[in-house]
Amino acid sequence: MNMLKTTMLLAALTALFMALGFTIGGTGGAMVALVVAAGMNLFTFWNADSIVLRMHGAREVDARNCPEFVGLVAGLARRANLPMPRVYIIDSDHPNAFATGRNPKNAAVAATTGLLAILDRDEIEGVMAHELAHVRNRDTLIMTMTATIAGAISMLANFGMFFGAGRDRDGGQVLATILAVFVAPFAAMIVQMAISRSREYQADHGGAEISGKPRALASALAKLARGAAHIPNPVVERNPAAAALYIVPGMKRGGDSLFSTHPATENRIAQLEMIANDMGVLTASPDFAAVSAPRSGALPSVPRTGPRTKRRASALDPHGRG
């Protein structure tokens, strides 16, 4: 069923891309749009992981230079019956994580140094289990491809604004072009966000099952949501479509609205609380309002490529000091 929904959504975005091309350039424009959409789908299918990782400046780590973090991911992958993904760290104060790759055999997971600095080991385990659930559900490919096509629709709409509307003086054609310019990006945004919201709930459920610690994941979500709302994310500022890739939005969002890339964090925590009760987890549930906000600039003791700054030890110190 998940694969069918994915295929239908990609087909809808491709059709929307073609319709916009037809509005701007007639039959020829629709054919060009179809060729471009097919090319984007093919290119993104084979290069989704490298596109996203390069966008974030992520660097790969292994058991030699980051043994605790890589070991944690390896243990979760075994529990999830998944191949070991490549593991990356992003040098950024913004606390977040994501998974990418076209299938479980070519998957990668990444976390920022900001995330590793503010979460304890159980919380990090919950977050990475959530990302592995995305890999197991094959969400990583569809989210990257959808974001790419949605961005292309917006770009084509902007092209139509400058070159299409003024070309034909017929009132109907001008109106159609104006509608395409405004409606197409809006429709693509709705589809992208609808996919993200439903899949985040599924990944939370899967992450709770893989880690066995639903309340640790709930606590992590609370901390990350507060941190992401206050610490800038340069990648999302440059490319808002990237917000759908993260475990929490890459910028401040409000509630379960039509325009949210993720469900409201309070709703996700409530679902995890129900999962914990079903699993018989006895640990106290985190109070969302009481979770302390992360301190800007607090980075973990993981290998860095840039200038070294004063920071406290991470929950997963690769040198064993955490």
**Beta carbons within 10 angstroms of residue 112's beta carbon:** 28
Of 240 and 174, more confident: 240
Terminal-to-terminal C-alpha distance of the chain:
43
Residue 308, domain member (yes or no):
no
Within-domain flag for 36: yes
Those residues whose C-beta lies under 8 Å from the C-beta of residue 266, and which sit 6 or more positions away, are 288
Residue 118's domain comprises 2-290
Q: pLDDT for 111-158, tens place per residue? A: 999 999 999 999 999 999 999 999 999 888 777 666 666 666 666 666
User: Does 305 map to a domain?
Assistant: no
The Cα 233–Cα 193 span in angstroms is 19
Residue 130: how many other CB atoms lie within 10 Å: 27
pLDDT at 294: 38
Q: Is the confidence at residue 283, as pLDDT, over 70? A: no
Q: What is the pLDDT of residues 290-321, one digit of tens each?
A: 443 333 333 344 444 444 434 444 556 544 44
Residue 302 lies in a domain: no
Residue 317 maps to a domain: no
Question: Does residue 94 lie in a domain region?
Answer: yes
What 3-state DSSP class applies to 308? coil
Task: Calculate the alpha carbon distances from 172 to 62, 167, 169, 175 in Å.
Answer: 60, 12, 9, 5
Residue 123 is among the residues annotated as catalytic for this protein: no
Number of domains in the chain: 1
Q: Half-sphere exposure of 205 toward its Cβ, with a 13 Å CA cutoff?
A: 10
| Residue 38: count of CB within 10 angstroms of its CB | 12
On whether residue 129 sits in a domain, the answer given is yes
Q: Which of 68, 123, 131, 200 is catalytic?
A: 131
The average confidence (pLDDT) of the chain is 77
Return the half-sphere exposure (C-beta side, CA atoms, 13 A cut-off) of residue 135. 32
**Residue in the structure block whose two tokens are 């790969």:** 60
Q: In the numeric block, which tokens belong to residue 254?
A: 């409000």
pLDDT confidence of 47, banded at 50, 70, 90?
confident
> What is this structure's pTM?
0.75
Of 243 and 155, more confident: 243
In a domain, 173, yes or no: yes
Of residues 208 and 253, more confidence is placed in 208
